[in-house]
Structure 1
């Protein structure tokens, strides 16, 4: 059977000696797309209290710091916290070599669960600082977030990382950079699902308007429930990420998904009884 051989170039070009990679470009497209979606939502809702540029900055800091720390804590704790040099590697995109030299690696290692946690913390702080209703901001971000998640998984696909387990399905990919075994294109599964979540979210928004038929917090809950429920089940066709997961009944991604699914379900439930208000500013 002829499977799909997958071995694209990781790098697009070099900029002053630093490689520009597909992964970074797709991350950027995802974030810029989310920025414009949120800006559009705030404009159509005539909400001038949300400072989108500042919100975007808070979101980027929250996502990247959370995703990076999440990876280092959840998936590679023994390495990154084994020496001061390795702790430095958490924050600086380099890796120290045994001979004392170092190489530029980029931020190789970002965990989506950590990114979500970091984003929520950053948004909470933003809303508290600007006295904006947290649920409204969370809903705006949640409508845009699946688009960003889709682009990130496409970046993983270009990197031939987060690969699926061996399979003989007709659409299997052979990741030539990894091995010659036909595997599930798990990254593509996730990207397509996140696209569906995004499209359904946009349709629901256009039919209900933000917070009117569906209370504030619904879209945040919807986003978290759908994405991390799918994330829980897609792990069954993914290759194990780190060795210690072989001894676990559920892998780390599944354990981390469970509380986020419950959190999302709580927000969906609460949104059904949340009274709509056009006042986007927190009461003093």
Structure 2
């Protein structure tokens, strides 16, 4: 048995051997006005920027289909407020649900570059941004959410890839041949749960939502695509949490679920309600 364990450890993939670095571009040391700077661009920051920009361009593509819920100019306004919602909502949700100790030192909350964002909070921020743009322009909140939902998996995919490059949010111990030893997680091989999430929340959810958008009339039923997004993301996250190591400061909660799983439950319920009630809302009539 000990020899089998040793062979298993030797055959596991070591994260360091992948040659990945959280820093995408090191701009070197700068000396300006008597001060020393060492600016670096991280993949995590690029994932957020790239996800927002690519999702914006993709929404513009979707808006070319008949029955669009807003104009390209209104979309630009939404991108600004959605970016703000992602940053503020994502950070505050992380602090309240995962790191409430930060509340005793508020200055720590502003250090976004050190990581710590909640995808659930970011989504709430985006929904509030949609409501704000809807209110200012007299638009349909649900129909905008349908389009945004179809593009959101792009950002989710890039974010999870950035998590993997950072070697963070690793999975639970595993004996599978693709298990990886993450240096900061100890000597045991673990599930690369970041890649599981990238595949489910990113690739598969994107394919499903956009098949529904282009191959069916779901986009003309307000709230239906937004509902599918909520259910798809919620179920994906709930499943992957069984393979992902729980947050060390929280662990598995007293009711047997992780915080990530717990936060997905109201999301899935809201999504199911949107799907089941979509046929009761006035449909959109769009000329082909």
Give 1:245's aligned residue.
251
Question: Match of 1:12?
Answer: 24
- 1:152 paired with 2:159, answer yes
**What secondary structure is seen at the aligned counterpart in 2 of 1:237?**
coil
CA contact (8 A) 1:10 1:22 kept: yes
Report what 1:204 is aligned to: 212
Q: Residue 186 of structure 2: SS of its match in structure 1?
A: coil
Matched length: 261
| 1:135 and 2:142 correspond | yes
The 5 Å alignment of 1:43-122 reads 43-45=64-66, 47=68, 49=71, 51-77=74-100, 79-82=101-104, 86-93=105-112, 106-122=113-129
Structure 1's 222 and 166: CA in aligned 2 closer, same or farther, altered over 3 A? same
Higher Cα Rg: structure 1 or 2? 2
Secondary structure at the counterpart of residue 182 of structure 1: coil
Could you tell me which of 26, 51, 56 is aligned with 1:30?
51
Is residue 256 of structure 1 aligned with residue 256 of structure 2? no
Write the distance in 2 (CA, Å) between the matches of 1:130 and 1:24: 31
Report which structure shows greater RCO (CA 8 Å, sep ≥6).
1
Alignment partners' CA distance in 2, 1:173 and 1:45 = 47
State the SS of the aligned residue for 1:244.
coil
> Mean Cα displacement is larger for which, 233-242 or 157-166?
233-242
TM-score (norm 2): 0.85
SS of residue matched to 1:243: coil
Gaps of 5+ in 2: 1-7, 31-37
